[in-house]
Structure 1
Amino acid sequence: MPRKWIRNLCFSKKSSSSFSTSHFPSPYRIGLSPSRPSFSESVMNKTLEMAEPMIMKWNPESNTFAKVTSLFHENRKEAWDFIKCVNNLQKAMHFLVTENSNSEQLVRCQMLMQIAMKRLEKEFYQILSMNRAHLDPESVSTRSSTSDYDDEDNDDKIVIESLCEVEDASSIAMADLKLIAECMISTGYAKECLKIYKIIRKSIVDEGIYRLGLEIFSASHIHKMNWDVLELRIENWLNAVKVAVKTLFNGERILCDQVFASSDSIRESCFSEISKEGAMILFGFPENVIKNSKKSPDKLYRVLDMYTVISDHWPEIDSIFSFDSTASVKSQALTSLVRLGEYVRTALNEFESTIQKYSSKSPVAGAGIHHLTIDVMNYMSILADYSNILSDILADSTPPEKHSLPESLFGFSDAQESPAPAITLKFGWFILVLLCKLNGKADHYKDISFSYLFLANNFQYIVERASTSNLKYLLGYEWLSKLDSKVKLFSSNYERLGWSHVINSLPKNPTLGISPEQVKEVFINFNSLFDQACRKHSLCIVVDSKLSYDIKASMKRKIALAYREFYNVHSTTVKNNRNLRYVIKFAPEDVERRLWNLFFGTV
């Protein structure tokens, strides 16, 4: 408006009586409206003007193109603009509710919001459905795996590129889902969003549980299973736990945390409803097996395997199922762990009882290794592979009373500051029970030399099995050394009682001059005693090659070498006497050969 016109209007030379409203210009003539909108109203109107065409373009009810096309797949930039329009529309609705809840514009906003939510529901469903491969738990749980590869290897580069493609697709899908979820939750459509998510994702978890071969077995079903079938079920379960924890549930937790990062309560609700049922089936299996299957020491390895797999994965289980609503899953896993530990302790006690109750009185042919020794040591050497787990299980067990545990067996005394671990005491006690049983078995031999050879054989087998398994770490070098000294003592006693009469038949000083008649008597006596001893002891068996060599080497020194020396000095005297030639039955080589042919169990 020109300043001159204003000045003329305000300071007219005419009198005030001649002043008239007709001199004012019409508001419409100067561009003003009678009810000019506020700034907020202008912003709201602008929001509606921008949101309506965008939302109506993607209305699946009125637009064929929108019905068959995915917004996020077609144009991700437009998809993000769509979300921005919806968020702005929500703000406009809040303003209208505050200023005028009966406004026609509010009704219009609500209609557009419903259309937008139907669109987003459809997009959310499509992204979840079409990206099942990229959003499967394995892909989600291994998104960071590309960092483990060496960029310089061509084969690794191919792997990296492949993993990056999966990771990119997975990341894009997760980002889109998160964007839609946050939009729907903030606009009051959380229920619709969660319904879609839970249905699709639970079906994926349930399918994963089914593919892992996990089933709910009744108590009677497990009780009727024979062990071979049940063992296959346990083997399958062991593999299933590793996949389920590291991939299935871990991936699902990551996806939930990413998509619903804006709401802790929604994250918890989703993950709990999706995973809880399958997890309870998974971790309830061991308890069901323990409660309803027949107990036997033979099953102990598989029970230890189940205990190990839960124990090894416990940090992950604790992290994945950290919500209050999934506390029952951790409780079930812990209950199974406790039941498995109880089973192990019971089975070990039954194992000890089995050794003690063994009552066969038939001596082992050839004074060889008793099958009880073989069974017990093989069983224990396998158990020793579970020493870490058994240490945990037996940590609180009451050790055997010290007066029943010879110090010489373990190599420790009360004076030592650190007592032996419970597992060492337990395993040492098992072997002590076995040794006592073997001492009783040795009494069944009529020939005491056979008793000592039997003990030497069996103690040597114990030393050998312990030395070549993890038992050596549990029982210690000193224990093995002391038991090995027992083997030497028993073999020495066998040699003394079984062959001393043959040794004593030769003069202590073979070079000492004696009469021909005395020479004849020595040869005849040696021939008879040596032949009888060889026939008798040729039935004996010494399985361990070192023990066999040591015994025969000792007898060679004491018998064969002494005989050779006597033979070399006095054989000429005998050979020159026609009447005495027949008394030489064995050449020195014959004696050595017969000694080296001993302990094979054949005459």
Structure 2
Amino acid sequence: MEENPPHKNNSLSKFSNSSVSLDSDKCNDHDAKHCENGDQISEDVDQFINVLSAIDDKSSGLSEVPDFIDTFSKIVEARITGYTSGEINRKFGKMAEEDSFFMESVRRISKLTNALGEFPSDKSINSSLNQTSVALQRAMAFLEEEFRTLLEDSGNDLDHSENFHKFSSFNSKNQQDNSNRCVIQREMDSGESDAYPAYSPETVTKLREIATTMISAGYETECCQVYYISRRTAIRNQMIKLECEISLNMDEVAKMLWETMETEISRWINAVKTCSETIFPGEKRLGESIFSGYPQIHRKMLSNIMRIVVIQLLDFAEATSMAKRSAEKLFKYLDMYEALQNLIPVISVESHSDELMSEVAAAVDRIGDSASSIFCDLENSIESDAARTPVPGGAVHPLTRYVMNYLKYACEYKDTLEKIFGKQTDLNKKCIPITKDLTSQELEKESESPHNFEALDNMTPFSIQVVTAMDLLDTNLDRKSKLYKDLSLRYVFLMNNGRYILQKVKGSTEIRQVMGDTWCRRRSTVVRKYHKNYQRETWNRVLQCLNHDGLMVNGKVNKQLLKERFKIFTTIFEEIHRTQSTWVVSDEQLQSELRISISAVLIPAYRSFVGRFRQYLDSGKQADKYIKYQPEDVEALIEGLFEGNTTSMARRRT
């Protein structure tokens, strides 16, 4: 029995004379099963690949390559020619069975090319390898273009009228594919089919099949490049569609007026939210479906796609943080801070990119630094506000309104500001007032002060900032109160501002949580103290006129002194009324409390004085001359105090 030549492997002997005739015209037929001996060739190619793979020593080479290998290469090229012929019915994706045969053939020729490439070159190998390589390259170029077309043309063309269950997949036996289609179908059934990105289940299946085929054939770079460029363009188009595209560079941002920048920041915030809530999760879902068999490729692609978008967003954030700082920018900066904070977990979950997360975290810190600096600038501006003109009528100072409204809105960002100030390593040096241990006598004295000298050890960083601002405001108001020469008006001013501060805190859940109920009780005590001081300073002079002391001499009324007392009362009361009716107490409750307290002290004393001593005046006309106002007149005139205008002093007769 003749031995085989040393270089010839027995396992190849059955293919040595294999030859399949192929009519090239039949290869252009639209259905692969009609191509003569097509199925048989596929089986032969598979067997040949298995035989090549089983050869351990490939250095001995091959005696020859079967003729059907060249035939198979021509079949693949014929299919590509058919798809690109321009006939509608021959387009890729129109004939499921033919498409399935083509994709299987491409995977098969890819394996065949790789298997042949492992053997030493010779005339036979080179010829067949060249033919399979050319066919593979043409197939990859074709699939690359189809991949691009599907990505770019199908993104927003989901046809809801299609019956999902009728479309065929390239790989209906693949369990993962079926699972993905079920997920997509559930989204369609639940009304989420318009969610970004809006690819039909059929399109996603085609994209996945092409990607798998290209990557397995060694064309990962080409596949990923097409996917990256297409998705980057799709994201930009989506941002434009939603009117939240950010196209400004850092120089343009730096030159902006605040009014313009404020609008751009709002647009930027919408862009970040859109990326966090819609675009990035949508890109993850799409990538996971298309690259389901290659999770590492998917993560890398998603990371690259997210990075190009995020970097543009971060450039704007950095430019904004470098702009000139002013108090009105705080709340926009806080909105930016929160938007970026919400972006970090999305990047963590979707892309697993530590580098990208670090860059976003750094941008968050820069915005946070800007916000904290602005807040501390508020404290500086409170302390340095040195207006020398008192507010008319002792009304609430504009600084008080500004600071309290500012703090109220700031407290609505309490959680965010707690994070920001918690990161300030030099907080104790910059913004915390020095705490001190007080003796019992000092504590009693300080309890009558509007300032907050309690120990701050248990307070949060942001609470300390608010308390500090409050203390600075109290100090400034105390300084401004001294601009009033009239001591009574000074107390009205402090009372007005103290009451306004208290009502602002009580009226806002957020700021009340920061200041606490103890602070509110203490502030109420301080306002009552101002009230008492005002009443003592103003009305004690009036009450002294109604004192009985000295009116009785040896059991008789000193009529001259009595007349003087009535005249002095009238003069002082009219002076007080004329002056204090121009004073302003805008808080209706405080205004009412003041009037009631004045009436409660003055009216009973005046009524008693008139009732007891009226009879000692000589006649009715003389009594009217000295008793200009009846108690009811005084009570009515008290009702006209603190309205900021001059009230008529006309008296009422009884």
User: Structure 2-normalised TM-score?
Assistant: 0.74
Q: Which structure has the highest helix share of the two?
A: 1
1:121 matched to 2:144? The reply is yes
Q: Which residue of 1 aligns with 2:538?
A: 498
Q: For 1:122 and 1:45, how far apart are their aligned partners in 2?
A: 27
Match of residue 411, structure 2, among 381, 384, 390 = 384
Structure 1 residue 336: Cα displacement: 1.5
What displacement does 1:525 show? Answer: 3.2
Residues 324-352 of structure 1 show CA distances to partners (whole Å, capped at 9, x for unaligned) of: 6xx2x333322221111221222222221
> What residue number does 2:574 align with?
531
Which residue matches 1:373? Answer: 400
Find out whether 1:564 has 2:607 as its counterpart.
Answer: yes
Which is worse superposed, 422-431 or 520-529?
520-529
- Counterpart secondary structure, 1:59: helix
Verify the 8 A CA contact 1:209 1:278 in the aligned structure 2. Answer: no
Q: Are 2:216 and 1:186 equivalent residues in the alignment?
A: yes
Partners in 1 of 2:348 and 2:486 — Cα distance? 63
Q: CA deviation at 1:87?
A: 2.7
- With 552-561 and 87-96 compared, the bigger mean Cα shift is at 87-96
Name which of 257, 272, 275 aligns with 2:288.
Answer: 257
Residue 552 of structure 1: how far off its partner (Å): 0.7
CA distance in 2, matches of 1:419, 1:283: 36
Which residue matches 1:29? none
Inter-CA distance 125–360: structure 2 relative to 1 (3 Å threshold): closer
Selected match of 1:288 from 304, 307, 319: 319
Q: Does 1:596 align with 2:639?
A: yes
What residue number does 1:419 align with? 458
How do residues 514-593 of structure 1 correspond to structure 2 at under 5 angstroms?
515=557, 517=559, 520-568=563-611, 571=614, 577-593=620-636
Q: Is the 8 A contact 2:390 2:483 kept in 1?
A: yes
Q: Residue 307 of structure 1 corresponds to which residue in structure 2?
A: 337
Distance across 2 between alignment mates of 1:420 and 1:594: 48
Partner of 1:151: none
- What is the letter of the counterpart of residue 211 of structure 2? A
Deviation at 1:580, TM superposition (A): 2.9
- Counterpart secondary structure, 2:523: helix
Question: In the alignment, which residue of structure 1 is the partner of 2:487?
Answer: 448
Q: What fraction of aligned residue pairs are identical, expressed as a percent?
A: 25
> Secondary structure in 1 aligned to 2:458?
coil
Alignment counterpart, residue 431 of structure 1, candidates 470, 474, 479: 470
Counterpart CA distance in 2 for 1:436 and 1:36 is 103
Q: 8 Å contact 2:74–2:135 — kept in the other structure?
A: no
Rounded Cα–Cα distance in structure 1 between residues aligned with 2:531 and 2:268: 49
Rate the CA distance shift 1:493–1:144 in 2: closer, same or farther, 3 A: farther
Shift of the 134–562 alpha-carbon distance from structure 1 to 2, 3 Å rule, reads farther
CA distance 1:494–1:71, change in 2 (3 Å): same
Specify whether residues 579 and 193 from structure 1 end up closer, same or farther in structure 2 by C-alpha distance, changes over 3 A only: closer
Give yes or no for the alignment of 1:487 onto 2:527. Answer: yes
Alpha-carbon distance, 1:553 to partner: 0.4
State whether residues 411 and 478 of structure 1, in contact with CA within 8 Å, keep that contact through their aligned partners in structure 2: no
Cα distance change, pair 572–63 in 1 and its aligned pair in 2 (3 A): same
Q: Which runs of 5+ in 2 are unaligned?
A: 1-12, 19-39, 48-67, 159-181, 647-654
Report the residue type matching 1:287 in the other structure.
E
Code of the aligned partner of 2:391: V
Whether the aligned pair in 1 keeps the contact of 2:197 and 2:286 (CA below 8 Å) is no
1:70 aligns with 2:113: no
C-alpha distance 536-37 of structure 1, shift in aligned 2 (>3 A): closer
Match of 1:19 in 2: none
After alignment, is 313-322 or 203-212 more displaced? 203-212
Contact 2:327–2:377 (CA under 8 A) maintained in structure 1: yes
Q: What is the letter of the counterpart of residue 243 of structure 1?
A: T
> Do the aligned residues in 1 keep the contact of 2:347 with 2:353 (CA within 8 Å)?
no
- The aligned amino acid for 1:444 is L
Kept after mapping to 2: 8 A contact 1:134/1:169: yes
Aligned match of 1:82 in 102, 120, 127?
Answer: 102
Kindly state the Cα deviation for residue 252 of structure 1 after the two structures are TM-superposed.
2.4
- Matched position secondary structure for 1:60: helix
State yes or no: 1:58 paired with 2:79.
yes
Distance 1:320-1:46 versus aligned 2 partners, 3 A rule:
closer
Of residues 363-372 and 206-215 in structure 1, the stretch that sits farther from structure 2 once superposed is: 206-215
Shift of 1:485: 0.7
Rate the CA distance shift 1:177–1:362 in 2: closer, same or farther, 3 A. same
Stretch moving more, 443-452 or 119-128: 119-128
Is 1:133 aligned to residue 139 of structure 2? no
Which residue does the alignment assign to 2:163? Answer: none
Letter in 1 for 2:227: Y
Match of 2:258 among 223, 227, 231: 227
Residues 55 and 115, structure 1, Cα contact 8 Å, conserved in 2: no
Q: Which AA in structure 2 matches 1:215?
A: S
Distance 1:165 1:336, change over 3 A: closer
Q: Distance in 1 between matches of 2:266 and 2:624?
A: 74
- The runs of 5 or more residues in structure 1 that have no matched partner are 1-34, 136-142, 149-157
Shift in alpha-carbon separation, 1:297–1:87, aligned structure 2, 3 A: same
| Partner-residue secondary structure (3-state), 2:645 | coil
Instruction: Letter of the 1:246 partner, please give it.
Output: E
CA contact (8 A) 1:284 1:333 kept: no
SS at match of 1:179: helix
Q: Secondary structure at the match of 2:292?
A: coil
State the alpha-carbon separation in 2 of the partners of residues 272 and 90 from structure 1.
29
Work out the number of aligned pairs and report it. 543
1:332 aligned onto 2:359: yes
The secondary structure found in structure 2 opposite 1:602 is coil
